[in-house]
Amino acid sequence: MPVEMQLARIIISEISDNQVIYLKEVDGERQFPILIGIFEATNIDRRVKTDYVPPRPLTHDLIVKVAETLGATVESVIISELSEHTYFAALRLRKDGELIEIDSRPSDAIAVAVTFQPPLPIYVSEQVLRDATSDD
């Protein structure tokens, strides 16, 4: 059963190509980092810290608009797999009662999630959470 998580921290470094976001369990203490790119990190950071509205739609806004125009509702994000230090995620959309999962990088899926107010739920599979928080 997937575990609901929330965006806990965003760490942006001007001297590194990799930025870090931390997801924390909503009803628990487990948390883990995900390395992401600077574009996704700054977009996520702007959306959660301010009422930033870009002058033109960003890629994540475009994804939401395309889904809505096609009659789908973006419902949530799930991080479903961790393989060789790479996380795999999906955007979950609903159209005509059918759940549709669209393959996505976690950073893009989370960037889409934070375009909504309040942000969409972020879920992580229990196996990914165990693997990501293990001391191995």
Q: Give pLDDT tens digits along the chain (136 positions).
A: 899 999 999 999 988 888 999 999 999 999 999 999 988 898 899 888 877 778 888 888 899 999 999 999 999 999 999 999 999 999 999 999 999 999 999 999 999 999 888 899 999 999 999 999 886 5
Helix (H, G, I), strand (E, B) or coil at 57: coil
List the CATH number of the domain containing 19: 3.10.690.10
Residue among 111, 124, 118 at smallest CA distance from 32 = 124
Phi-psi region of 85 (alpha: psi -120 to 50; beta: other; left: phi over 0): left
Q: How many structural domains does the chain have? A: 1
Domain that holds residue 87: 3-133
